Amino acid sequence: MKFWTYSTKVLATLLAVVSITHASGPTDGDAVADANSAVVKLTSENFASFIEENPLILAEFFAPWCGYCKMLGPEYSKAADSLNESHPKIKLAQIDCTEDEALCMEHGIRGYPTLKIIRDGDSKTAEDYQGPREAAGIADYMIKQSLPAVQFPETFEELDTLIDAQTKPFVLQINPTEDGNATFNKVANQKRKDYVFINVEDKQIIKDLNKKFKNVDITGKKPSYLVVQPKQFDEVAKFDGKKIDAESLTEFIGVEAVPYFGEINQDTYMTYMTSPLPIAYYFYNNAEQREAIADDLTKLGKKYRGKLNIVGLDASLFGRHAEVINMDPEVVPLFAIHHISDNKKFGVNQTDYPEGPSFKVIEKFVADYFADKLTPIIKSEPLPTEEEKSANPVVKLVAHNYKDVLEQTDKDVFVKYYAPWCGHCKKLAPTWEELAEIFGSNKDDAKVVVADIDHTNNDVDVPYNIEGYPTLLMFPANGKVDEKTGIREPIVFEGPRELDTLIEFIKEKGALNVDGAELKAKLDEQKATKEDEEVEEEKEEEEEEEAPVEDKENVEHDEL
């Protein structure tokens, strides 16, 4: 099965392509690769050394019980054997997530099978495999992945044909240095599925290429790095950083690869979501509405280039995405800004503009945003009532009480961030409630607060990048405060979600070292005593009911 991995950046989006299937799936086949095949079994012990020694790896994270893993297993083994003969430097590996849960959690695995392509020993930049699931297709896909990420046209005619064929933004390296070339190749390997990377060193080709561009000069001796929109050669973006390194070049590409006024859809969604810039959405009902404002929004996008990405969104296809940014999807056109890094949302008042805002209103709204004059729209569930607080040992957090609870720095605060649709969250709920009861979490004198929050329905700051649910974070008493959020820096729980493990985690990672095992023993003793008393009371009541009733005889006497 395949699950979308949610993070604070893409939380609750309706644009993601999610394929959720039943966990069981087909039952035929063996998920574990043939022991005699070329598939390498990886664990926490050999994972790091293996990826460091092999430049290109396809890693399958699986569970033996998973039906779709069973389907893939035999094909995966065949593909590994085929590649081992033809391309022995390409390795296929498996990680059993039921045996090595920590390693799988480290890589954000939320469904099986998940396949990732790992290059040059860097698993943090691993990309999701999006190829076929049968042996020949897997082998062919990985062979293509092994080809150079950078293209080297040998003539201007070849280069011109390549450039004219592009339908997405592409990246050019002109007259590179040795260090710059190494950086360019590294970035190209990481971003090869998103962009075409082209290297040009021949002086005559550079001279001919320079005639094609209107706003840049690339004929000097210094290296140049350009991002070019398809068939738009009059506004080529040129890297002007003093130092060329992978981080700055990647950021430059991420900013300049988007148009001044683009379109957000399934193909472009991740490009915008992984950009460091906030997104301004213009929701429209039809092509005519978009066309009527496109030129003005393009000029606005040019004005705020490098500060804001402005996109159109077809409300007839993706209108419910408005709910994610706290806007009414029934009132379109609408305009809103989503500051992704801290998940703050700002929108033009829909009550004031039921027919949609004019460009002048939008222009002023954007100016006010950068002048810090706008108030974010906060989504929150209602505060729990006093009855709810006393009845539920788990402290319910919503946006309106979140900081109040987390600012109780004299307590260890253990928070479960969940989504109502998450099966793992539902499974954990009874254990979490039992944990809260042990620590008397909802009482004023509690030293440990066990809380939870529906992260999809409450806008809150989290000094940690949540990539899946449930995420369990411990905020130790009097802990170090995160400068950006003003909230204590958390410790992530990554062990088995079992009661005893959670109790031990609180004792070890909480600043107050509260012994939950001791509290649990006392609570169990109290419950046992109470049960005994209730049994005794029931027994006494039963005995009273069963006791014989003596008839009193009224005897009459004649007085003589």
Distance of CA 426 to the CA centre of its chain: 19
Are 83 and 142 a contacting pair, CB within 8 Å? Answer: yes
DSSP string, 137-161: HHHHHHHHHHS-SEE--SSHHHHHH
Active-site position among 422, 428, 449, 460 = 422
Active site annotation includes 66: yes
> Where do we find the tokens 């008393």?
533
Question: Cβ neighbours of residue 284 under 8 Å, at least 6 residues apart?
Answer: 290, 293, 312, 313, 314, 315, 332, 333
Distance of alpha carbon 243 from alpha carbon 160, whole angstroms: 29
Distance of alpha carbon 17 from alpha carbon 14, whole angstroms: 8
Distance of alpha carbon 499 from alpha carbon 517, whole angstroms: 10
Active-site position among 419, 425, 438, 450 = 425
Distance of alpha carbon 450 from alpha carbon 434, whole angstroms: 10
Angle between helices 178-191 and 246-256 (to 10 degrees): 50
Active site annotation includes 69: yes
Active-site position among 51, 58, 69, 472 = 69
Active site annotation includes 104: no
Active site annotation includes 425: yes
Q: What is the dihedral of CA 182, 184, 187, 192, to 10 degrees?
A: -120
Q: In sequence order, which ranges of 147-279 are alpha helices (DSSP H)? A: 156-164, 178-191, 203-212, 246-256, 269-273
Instruction: Give the H/E segment covering residue 77.
Output: helix 67-86
Active-site position among 66, 80, 279, 405 = 66
Burial of 316 (0-12, 13-18, 19+ CB in 10 A): exposed
The amino acid present at 500, given as its one-letter code, is D
Distance of alpha carbon 50 from alpha carbon 46, whole angstroms: 6
Tokens of 291: 């066309």
Are 455 and 417 a contacting pair, CB within 8 Å? Answer: yes
Enumerate the active-site residues.
66, 69, 422, 425
